[in-house]
């Protein structure tokens, strides 16, 4: 798959994870667009660089439709694409305008492009907005990325037919937790609640912790119309101010949501833990719960910080165990990334009026540790059975990082003053030792200006986690067995895992999934996850640009987050928006890019702009259509 970056060049990500990305210069892109599946002719590898290649064919277009603005040049019209990855304008014949005029926001389709010397040709198939009229950014993302945002009528009708009807027979086969203290902990604005926690102190001094997950598979049967649509979507997508759910609202926000005071069917991992978090035993059971209380993260944090609550004892006991679990996980080689994110306060028109950094609190980590534990134990149950063969399953796997990428990361953090031996991360040291070093760097950077940058570059240096029927473990978490079990409302992977476990544990007559089919589903949901991540990132970037459009001419503190021959990428420290300082706008000297030093260096003054440097910048351009920000360095 081709990925075009901001300089006009790109990289082809090979389907073989053991093969490095292939560099494609702008002149060698041929007739390929960003995201296309392509055929590549490979050149000789240059020392210290990626393999270089030339695109010789497009095997599959990622998108058949392209969003942009109609523009006119002399006697012809063209669509200027919103996506910078669509690196050529789309020529539109006058008779193919379909009523569109210059300045209109449109969708171009029927695109043909066989000759890279000429521009692609297409026709206007829909006018999204007339010149000057606002078009929702979320709508543009939905159309641009071909996201299935509307449920077909038959799917909605099928959802309406589902009722909460717990028969005596169903109740008899489930472990009844309705008289126990069970509560949910979610973000304040959450609409669906698919996980809950319980804790009891046992007579022997140990704890019984229950991780209770909505039993979506009880209601969404394999191969039903709802199931087919859920598989197509693969996951829910969370855009700023809008959610594209995997399941219809009646299921996600009602029947399957673990709302307080209502009987709900759940699938639970119940673990006996010693006070030092040694696992004594665990079982995976079909259960029924009645949530005692709905907490948000801030409310739980107040209790952790010394506040009072009817369930203070339970919260503090869970948090003490979560701390031990986290400490043990990191000691055994897991990495804890502190990825910085932002949230937006929107007005009634969905316009951002305030941008805030999301803060990861101890309450967030409390929930995360028990979700990780449940995911790990369900994967271990199937992947390492006490008897019998290993059965077909879907794992969440994370491969070893590419040595060149991790070596680049090591050299970069060393340039910032962090003590690290690059050879220790790529040489013969143990996997655990390598991971511990990465974790130490991330921990050392916490609270510094470069924290977000180091975390981002560490994540980039790692392989991407995917779904697979072949268990290779999860490198980043340090787990030998791992899957996704805890979010079946928003991830299809978890729904499949629930069905497989039901077959293997409870001998239910649910649909059988042969290994080749699970393999195909794994590839599909890995792809839908990547699409969701791209859409969510674009949504955040659009809101950042929309917010900053009202702050033209203002100055910000920033950090240099990337370098290319055409300029310096910077990230604003408070809003976390990324923009560009063009090299031609660097005044006072002629600056040359030195790749080895990660710096632009002035030819006369020898002044340097290095990756990771903090500087003051001034916003001079905010282009919402292109989602681009340009800055200069003020005098």
In a shared domain, residues 418 and 473: no
Block residue for tokens 């006996």? 272
Block residue for tokens 């369900």? 378
Among candidate residues 116, 59, 108, 127, the one with its CA nearest the CA of residue 88: 116
User: Average pLDDT in the 96-114 region?
Assistant: 92
Determine, yes or no, domain membership for 123. Answer: yes
Rounded CA separation 184/197 (Å):
6
Rounded CA separation 527/504 (Å):
27
Helix count and strand count (H, E) for the chain: 14, 31
Rounded CA separation 230/243 (Å):
14
Question: Is 529 exposed, middle or buried, given 0-12, 13-18 or 19+ CB atoms closer than 10 A?
Answer: buried
Percent of the chain surpassing pLDDT 70:
94
Confidence category of residue 354, pLDDT binned at 50, 70, 90: very high
The enclosing H or E element of 168 equals helix 168-172
User: Average pLDDT in the 441-468 region?
Assistant: 84
Q: Which of 427, 462, 497 is the last residue of a domain?
A: 462
In a shared domain, residues 12 and 35: yes
User: Average pLDDT in the 252-265 region?
Assistant: 95
In a shared domain, residues 309 and 431: no
pLDDT tens for each residue of 215-248 = 999 999 999 999 999 999 999 999 998 999 999 9
Rounded CA separation 391/612 (Å):
48
Block residue for tokens 């277009």? 61
Range of the domain at 44: 2-60
Block residue for tokens 């805030």? 356
For 623, half-sphere exposure in the C-beta direction (CA atoms, 13 angstrom radius) is 14
Among candidate residues 116, 72, 114, the one with its CA nearest the CA of residue 92: 72
pLDDT tens for each residue of 159-205 = 999 998 888 999 999 999 999 999 999 999 888 899 999 999 999 99
Q: Over 80: is that where the pLDDT of 302 sits? A: yes
Rounded CA separation 477/416 (Å):
26
Where residue 507 falls (left for φ over 0; alpha for ψ -120 to 50; beta otherwise) is left
Q: Are 395 and 468 in contact (CB under 8 A)?
A: yes
Among candidate residues 472, 470, 480, 483, the one with its CA nearest the CA of residue 332: 480
Number of structural domains the chain divides into: 5
Instruction: Tell me the pLDDT of the chain averaged across its residues.
Output: 90
The sheet with strand 22-24 has its strands ordered as 2-4, 10-12, 22-24, 51-60, 37-42
Determine, yes or no, domain membership for 147. Answer: no
Determine, yes or no, domain membership for 546. Answer: no
Q: Over 80: is that where the pLDDT of 477 sits? A: yes
Q: Which of 33, 60, 87 is the last residue of a domain?
A: 60
Determine, yes or no, domain membership for 278. Answer: yes
In a shared domain, residues 567 and 518: no
The tokens describing 461, both together, are 């240096």
Determine, yes or no, domain membership for 145. Answer: no
Q: Which of 513, 539, 565 is the last residue of a domain?
A: 539
Q: Higher model confidence: residue 394 or residue 475?
A: 394
In a shared domain, residues 213 and 341: yes
Q: Higher model confidence: residue 465 or residue 424?
A: 465
In a shared domain, residues 95 and 212: no
Determine, yes or no, domain membership for 544. Answer: no
Neighbours of 584 (CB within 10 A): 9
- Highest mean pLDDT pick, 73-77, 368-372, 439-443, 597-601: 368-372
Determine, yes or no, domain membership for 545. Answer: no
**CATH code for position 580:** 2.40.50.140
**CATH code for position 76:** 2.40.50
Q: Max alpha carbon distance in the chain (Å)?
A: 86
Determine, yes or no, domain membership for 425. Answer: yes
Rounded CA separation 239/232 (Å):
18
Confidence category of residue 47, pLDDT binned at 50, 70, 90: very low
pLDDT tens for each residue of 515-561 = 999 999 999 999 999 999 999 999 999 999 999 999 999 999 999 98
In a shared domain, residues 219 and 338: yes
């Amino acid at each position: 798959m081709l990925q075009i970056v901001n300089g006009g060049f790109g990289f082809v990500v090979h389907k073989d994870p053991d093969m490095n990305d292939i560099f494609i210069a702008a002149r060698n892109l041929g007739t390929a667009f960003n995201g296309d599946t392509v055929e590549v002719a490979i050149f000789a590898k240059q020392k210290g660089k990626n393999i270089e290649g030339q695109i010789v064919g497009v095997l599959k277009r990622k998108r058949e439709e392209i969003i942009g603005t109609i523009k006119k040049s002399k006697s012809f019209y063209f669509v200027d694409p919103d996506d910078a990855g669509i690196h050529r304008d789309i020529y539109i014949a006058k008779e193919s305008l379909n009523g569109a005029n210059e300045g209109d926001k449109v969708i171009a389709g029927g695109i043909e492009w066989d000759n890279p010397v000429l521009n692609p040709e297409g026709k206007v198939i829909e006018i999204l907005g007339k010149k000057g009229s606002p078009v929702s950014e979320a709508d543009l993302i939905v159309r641009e990325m071909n996201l299935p945002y509307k449920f077909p009528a038959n799917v909605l009708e099928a959802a309406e037919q589902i009722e909460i009807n717990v028969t005596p027979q169903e109740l008899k086969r489930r472990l009844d937790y309705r008289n126990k203290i069970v509560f949910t902990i979610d973000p304040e604005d959450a609409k669906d609640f698919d996980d809950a926690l319980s804790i009891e102190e046992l007579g022997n001094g140990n704890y019984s912790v229950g991780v209770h997950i909505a039993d979506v598979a009880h209601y969404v049967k394999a191969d039903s119309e709802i199931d087919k649509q859920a598989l197509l979507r693969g996951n829910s997508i969370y855009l700023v101010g809008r959610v594209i759910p995997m399941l219809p609202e009646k299921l996600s926000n009602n029947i399957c949501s673990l709302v307080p005071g209502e009987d709900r069917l759940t699938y639970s991992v119940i673990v006996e833990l010693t006070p030092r978090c040694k696992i004594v035993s665990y079982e995976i059971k079909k259960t029924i719960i009645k949530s005692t209380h709905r907490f948000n993260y801030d409310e739980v944090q107040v209790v952790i910080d010394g506040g009072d609550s009817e369930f203070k004892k339970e919260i503090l006991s869970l948090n003490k165990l979560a701390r031990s679990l986290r400490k043990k996980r990191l000691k055994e080689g897991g990495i804890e990334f502190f990825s910085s994110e932002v949230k937006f306060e929107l007005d009634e028109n969905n316009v951002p009026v305030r941008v805030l950094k999301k803060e990861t609190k101890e309450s967030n980590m409390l929930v995360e540790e028990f979700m990780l534990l449940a995911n790990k134990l369900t994967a271990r149950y199937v992947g390492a059975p006490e008897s019998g063969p290993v059965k077909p399953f879907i794992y969440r796997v994370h491969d070893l990082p590419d040595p060149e990428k991790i070596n680049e990361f090591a050299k970069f953090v060393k340039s910032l003053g962090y003590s690290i031996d690059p050879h220790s991360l790529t040489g013969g040291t143990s996997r655990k030792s390598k991971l511990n070093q990465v974790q130490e760097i991330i921990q050392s950077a916490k609270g510094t200006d470069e924290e977000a940058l180091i975390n981002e570059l560490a994540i980039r240096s790692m392989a991407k986690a995917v779904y697979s029927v072949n268990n290779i473990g999860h490198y980043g978490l340090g787990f030998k067995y791992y899957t996704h079990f805890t979010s079946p409302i928003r991830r299809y992977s978890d729904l499949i895992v629930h069905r497989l476990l039901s077959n293997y544990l409870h001998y239910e007559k649910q649909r059988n999934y042969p290994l080749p089919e699970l393999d195909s589903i794994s590839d599909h949901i890995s792809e839908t996850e990547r699409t969701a991540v791209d859409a969510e990132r674009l949504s955040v970037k659009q809101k950042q640009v929309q917010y900053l459009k009202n702050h033209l001419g203002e100055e910000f503190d920033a950090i240099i987050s990337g370098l290319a021959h055409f300029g310096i990428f910077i990230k604003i420290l408070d809003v976390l928006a990324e923009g560009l300082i063009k090299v031609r706008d660097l005044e006072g000297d002629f600056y040359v890019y030195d790749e080895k030093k990660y710096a632009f260096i002035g030819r006369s003054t020898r002044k340097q702009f290095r990756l990771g440097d903090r500087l003051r910048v001034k916003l001079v351009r905010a282009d919402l259509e292109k989602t681009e920000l340009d800055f200069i360095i003020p005098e």
